[in-house]
Structure 1
Amino acid sequence: MLTNKKGFSLVELMLSLLLGSVLLAMIIGLYVSAVSSGSKSLKYSRLRTDLQSIMSIMETDIRRAGYGGRDFLVGSGGTKTVDSQNSGTLNCIVYSYNHNAAATITDTNRMGFRFVAAENKIQFGYAVDPLATNCYSKGNWTSLSDNQFIKITSLNFVESVVSSATASIRSVKIHLSGELVADGSYKHAINTRVQVRNIEISL
């Protein structure tokens, strides 16, 4: 004896396809959103890491300023161990220390960091002028930041001195900020203060 077997109607099939398509679209949307969010998080993480690495390099080197013999002690004018400039787009610090056992200060002992606003990057230099006002006209400079990925938006160096009757302690406050080139809404800023090595003795 034959029995009739009922299948799905056309309406039921169409409804199933519609619901399946909506569900698939939601899953794909969630996946794309998760991938996009993960990618942005990685980029922001790299932004923070790169800025922190640059700051660490500057901190470590500036902290050594003044290390060495008598010629490397803090002075004034052209003999200053640390000198900075913050004026509009001219943001630079120059310093010297005895990193190669030199008895006197030579060009290789004079170093600096500067912000190149036109290219949104930070550079390290050696054989620089002892005065920060001249750091854009002299020295051998190389980039520390990748301006294809990070846009450096500001770099400032502010010197301060705490003095007593017999000695003075010099420090430098550093401010660094940047953002992603691909997405300017991702920004990060770091502030720190560095004490230079030598205490200035009042004679």
Structure 2
Amino acid sequence: MTFHKQAGITLVDLLLSMLLGIVVLSGVISIYVAVVKSSSDTLKSSKLNTQLMTIMSVMSNDIRRAGYWNDFISEPQTNPFSQLDDTALEVINSPASNTGYADNTDVNGECIVYAYDENENGVVDADSEYFGFRLLDGVVQMRASGTVTDGDNCNNGVWMDLSDSDLYTITRLTFNPKNSACVDSSEPNGIDDDGANGIDDAGEADCYSLVPAVGSGEITVETRDIEVSLAGVLKSDNSVSMQITQSVRIRNDLIRVR
């Protein structure tokens, strides 16, 4: 009878195999963790982006309606929804100081207020047709109602939260009217209104630069364009942040007789 010596693995071979397995397993785990983290970050970023885009859509669609009047065609200069210091659209620096800015000033306000004919009955209904948005303590708020004759006050009326303070903090909400424009319909009138050089300059048509005198009867048309900027950060992960900016053109021009 012939006996054959059986060959086996040595302790060194076993240790090397285990080491190789651990290296491969570590690589697989590292890749899995990286994929999970990347997916988690993507989901968080997508969630915040969706929330901010929704808020921006609500604000821009509503702000565009500022000054809408069901009877606007007849005498636009008498529009009850475009009365200065009451229903007319105004950008305000903050709810705290409540100071309004000129329509074409390159400044950022944290509040905007306005009114429009929501039920299309042609008159300003007490309390229910004053609207606006503001940033207060990291939350975007929307004005649900306001008080007649005090509509331009950023603390006026009833405000409700539009953003979810449990999920994210709004770090920036600004309204900038820098792209607005004002045209004096009486220009060119052949008169050197600014008294600069005896010539009726084209620039005199800009009624922001050269405001017509009160009682002159001149008609001005203001087109309002508001740059809205919104930014936020997730409360569960402050490394996830997002900022979006949108230009909102007001559909209803502000027409005034000076």
Do the aligned partners of residues 192 and 89 (structure 1) sit closer, same or farther apart at CA in structure 2, a change above 3 Å counting?
farther
Unpaired stretches in structure 2, ≥5 consecutive residues? 72-77, 98-109, 186-220
Identity of aligned residues (%): 35
Whether the 8 Å CA contact 1:159–1:171 is kept in 2: the answer is yes
Shift of 1:131: 4.0
Whether the 8 Å CA contact 1:112–1:128 is kept in 2: the answer is no
Shift of 1:158: 2.2
Alignment of 1:114-193 (within 5 A): 114-117=134-137, 120-129=138-147, 130-132=150-152, 134-136=153-155, 138-160=156-178, 161-166=180-185, 167-193=221-247
- Report the Cα distance in structure 1 between the residues aligned to 2:151 and 2:244, rounded to whole angstroms: 26
In structure 1, the partner of 2:65 is 64
Aligned residue for 1:192, secondary structure, equals strand
In structure 1, the partner of 2:7 is 6
Q: 1:94 aligns with which of 95, 100, 113?
A: 113
Residues 2-55 of structure 1 show CA distances to partners (whole Å, capped at 9, x for unaligned) of 312211111211211121112112211210111011101111111112111111
In structure 2, the partner of 1:22 is 23
Q: How well do the aligned residues superpose, as a CA RMSD in angstroms?
A: 2.0
Q: Which range is displaced more, 166-175 or 67-76? A: 67-76
Give the letter for the 2:130 counterpart.
R
Q: Larger radius of gyration, structure 1 or 2?
A: 2
Instruction: Establish whether residue 111 from structure 1 lines up as the match of residue 151 from structure 2.
Output: no
Whether the 8 Å CA contact 1:95–1:111 is kept in 2: the answer is yes
Residues 96-144 of structure 1 show CA distances to partners (whole Å, capped at 9, x for unaligned) of 1112223311211111111112xx1111121125444x323x3222222
Shift of 1:200: 2.4
- Report the Cα distance in structure 2 between the residues aligned to 1:51 and 1:72, rounded to whole angstroms: 33
In structure 2, the partner of 1:84 is 91
Whether the 8 Å CA contact 1:128–1:135 is kept in 2: the answer is no
Give the letter for the 2:85 counterpart.
G
Give the letter for the 1:193 counterpart.
S
Shift of 1:73: 4.1
Counting strand residues as a fraction of each chain, which structure ranks higher?
Answer: 1
- TM norm structure 2: 0.70
Do the aligned partners of residues 4 and 89 (structure 1) sit closer, same or farther apart at CA in structure 2, a change above 3 Å counting?
farther
- Report the Cα distance in structure 2 between the residues aligned to 1:194 and 1:122, rounded to whole angstroms: 17
Give the letter for the 2:43 counterpart.
L
Shift of 1:173: 1.7
How many residue pairs are counted as aligned between the two chains? 198
- Report the Cα distance in structure 2 between the residues aligned to 1:71 and 1:165, rounded to whole angstroms: 18
Q: Which runs of 4+ in 1 moved over 3 A?
A: 69-73, 87-90, 129-132
Aligned residue for 2:174, secondary structure, equals strand
Counting helix residues as a fraction of each chain, which structure ranks higher?
Answer: 1
